[in-house]
């Protein structure tokens, strides 16, 4: 008789297997081609209107005048809080040991095409969002599935109304389950594991105390609503990202002589030139591609439909502007942070540069900690513990919001307090028992979120391109500056937003 674990392994193999990765990467490629490589052509415009706007103090980027929405930068920080997590450290290390250094190259490719998937999600999220009973913005895959896919017509016939509602409900259900696992249990387990490596006390006691401290901190933030979550992440996320990047760059600088060899191993491993001559290159290249794509997708979550829920709460009016923040989100998460981790591991001598095999046998978080400790000494362990704790804590905050919005869609705004209380209480369980099976199960549901979301993105791809062309004609090329903006699918929602801003 099959166990729950073995059944989940089979399902997980399908969810995160080659067909699913083809769907995820394929959607990014399709949106890249349809948009005529928008993430490349408009990279300068993206930079100027996202991070560049912070220095120019553009209205609405740092602060929101609407009491029921958050600023564009706050939405980015909250989205990054969920994507920049322990996977950027432990996950990259695991990808290298499983797929070799070449996995890093395919991780980059996943990010490059994933930028347009994330862009498309955010465009649709803003276009189909609406106010809830509290006046807050509610948006995400469930809304563009229900009101976008569900209202596609051929002639005068709505062909997908039932399918749109079913997929929206499934997405919300998967998101709730994933929020308890990947967004809660997995992160708490990472925090307790990292702290236990520093403290010479009974692990069970450390876990319990850590869990109680985390509960207190989470309660102070999560129960305060989105505004408090966004403000907290706005203060923590930039610091933790810069903290990790600087630490990584110091190590890379210390091992600067190994950088050319590291990049050589990445490109050689991606295409496995030597092995190809021996007839075994195909399988090894496929392994590098698979693990690189998995790490890229799982890290930046492009295609999963998760971060769009918080991007939809932004004070922005233009769907494309929030889409630009989505492009930057993937760039920051994978191209910058994950690459830093990869180069630290590949230049510090803790893995074989040809195979990616760990020399000491350490894997995941242990391998990353070994790389930092080898360069920083005992401080390396402290550095990783602090980084992991910050990454994990902010990830919990981000996923608590995702779960709240999914719960709200299924059960209504008034019932969300119940979800928040259960979510916070789950921390003690996560800190004191073995939750590996629960994490594995939720990993499956995390992947299942992508299926309904990508169906929505693909069927609504034409709309994404129309909105993009409309914006470009008015704001970039200015060939039609008087063209009517495509702000929202619902005129009354747009009018209400403008009235609030006025």
Model confidence pTM above 0.85: yes
Task: Report the phi/psi class of residue 36: left, alpha or beta, with left for phi > 0 and alpha for psi in -120 to 50.
Answer: left
Average of per-residue pLDDT across 171-196? 86
In this prediction, residue 279 has a pLDDT band, given cuts at 50, 70 and 90, of very low
What are the tens digits of pLDDT across the range 352-373? 888 888 888 777 778 888 888 8
- 394 — phi, psi (to 5°)? -70, -30
3-state DSSP assignment of residue 131: strand
In this prediction, residue 494 has a pLDDT band, given cuts at 50, 70 and 90, of low
Residue 495 has pLDDT above 80, yes or no: no
| Higher local confidence (pLDDT), 58 or 368 | 368
Q: How many CA atoms lie within 13 A of 347 on its CB side?
A: 22
Instruction: Provide, rounded to the nearest whole percent, the portion of the chain with pLDDT above 70.
Output: 84
Least confident among 81-95, 179-193, 202-216, 291-305: 291-305
Give the chain's length: 502
In this prediction, residue 7 has a pLDDT band, given cuts at 50, 70 and 90, of very low
Any idea what the Cα angle at residue 234 is, between residues 228 and 236, rounded to 5°? 100
Give the burial string for 377-414 (b: 16+ CB within 10 Å, else e). eeebbbbbbbbbbbbbbbbbbbbbbbbbbbbbbeeebe
| Higher local confidence (pLDDT), 410 or 182 | 410
Give me the residues paired with residue 154 across strands.
157
Q: Which two tokens stand for residue 60?
A: 């609405």
Burial of 233 (0-12, 13-18, 19+ CB in 10 A): buried
* Predicted pLDDT of residue 97: 85
* Predicted pLDDT of residue 262: 93
Instruction: Give all domains of the chain, ordered by start, each with its CATH number.
Output: 7-496 (1.20.1740)
* Predicted pLDDT of residue 352: 86
What are the tens digits of pLDDT across the range 371-389? 888 888 888 888 888 888 8
What Å distances lie between residue 84 and 81, 150, 277, 313, 333, CA to CA? 6, 33, 38, 19, 6
Instruction: Provide, rounded to the nearest whole percent, the portion of the chain with pLDDT above 90.
Output: 34
Least confident among 117-121, 193-197, 485-489, 495-499: 495-499
């Amino acid at each position: 008789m099959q166990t729950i674990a073995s059944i989940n392994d089979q399902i997980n193999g399908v969810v995160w297997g080659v067909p699913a990765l083809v769907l995820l990467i394929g959607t990014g490629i399709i949106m890249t081609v349809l948009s005529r490589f928008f993430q490349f052509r408009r990279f300068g415009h993206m930079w100027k209107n996202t991070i560049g706007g912070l220095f120019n103090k553009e209205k609405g980027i740092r602060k929101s005048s609407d009491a029921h929405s958050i600023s564009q930068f706050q939405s980015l920080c909250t989205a990054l809080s969920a994507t920049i997590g322990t996977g950027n450290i432990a996950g990259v290390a695991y990808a290298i040991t499983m797929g070799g250094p070449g996995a890093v190259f395919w991780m980059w490719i996943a990010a490059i095409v994933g930028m347009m998937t994330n862009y498309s999600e955010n465009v649709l999220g803003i276009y189909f969002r609406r106010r809830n009973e509290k006046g807050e913005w509610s948006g995400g895959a469930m809304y563009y599935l229900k009101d976008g896919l569900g209202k596609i017509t051929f002639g005068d016939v709505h062909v997908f109304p039932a399918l749109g509602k079913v997929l929206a409900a499934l997405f919300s259900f998967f998101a709730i389950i994933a929020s308890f696992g990947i967004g809660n249990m997995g992160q708490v387990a990472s925090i307790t594991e990292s702290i236990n490596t520093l403290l010479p006390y009974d692990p069970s006691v450390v876990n319990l105390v850590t869990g109680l401290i985390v509960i207190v901190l989470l309660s102070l933030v999560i129960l305060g609503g989105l505004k408090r979550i966004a403000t907290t992440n706005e203060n923590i996320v930039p610091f933790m990202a810069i903290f990790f990047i600087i630490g990584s760059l110091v190590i890379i600088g210390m091992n600067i002589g190994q950088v050319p060899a590291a990049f050589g191993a990445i490109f050689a491993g991606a295409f496995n030139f030597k092995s190809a001559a021996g007839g075994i290159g195909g399988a090894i290249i496929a392994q590098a591609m698979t693990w690189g794509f998995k790490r890229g997708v799982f890290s930046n979550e492009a295609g999963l439909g998760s971060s769009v829920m918080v991007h939809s709460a932004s004070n922005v009016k233009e769907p494309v502007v929030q889409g630009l923040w989505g492009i930057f989100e993937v760039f920051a998460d994978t191209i910058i942070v994950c690459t830093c981790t990869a180069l630290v591991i590949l230049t510090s001598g803790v893995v074989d540069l040809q195979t990616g095999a760990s020399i000491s046998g350490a894997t995941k978080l242990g391998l990353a900690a070994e790389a930092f400790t080898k360069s920083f000494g005992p401080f390396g362990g402290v550095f990783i513990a602090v980084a992991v704790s910050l990454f994990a804590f902010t990830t919990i905050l981000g996923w608590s919001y995702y779960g709240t919005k999914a719960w709200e869609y299924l059960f209504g705004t008034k019932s969300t307090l119940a979800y928040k209380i259960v979510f916070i209480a789950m921390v003690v369980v996560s800190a004191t028992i073995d939750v590996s099976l629960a994490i594995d199960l939720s990993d499956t549901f995390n992947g299942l979120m992508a299926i309904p979301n990508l169906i929505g993105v693909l069927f609504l791809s034409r709309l994404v391109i129309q909105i993009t062309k409309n914006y470009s004609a008015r704001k970039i090329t200015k060939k039609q500056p008087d063209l009517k903006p495509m702000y929202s699918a619902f005129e009354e929602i747009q009018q209400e937003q403008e009235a609030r801003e006025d």
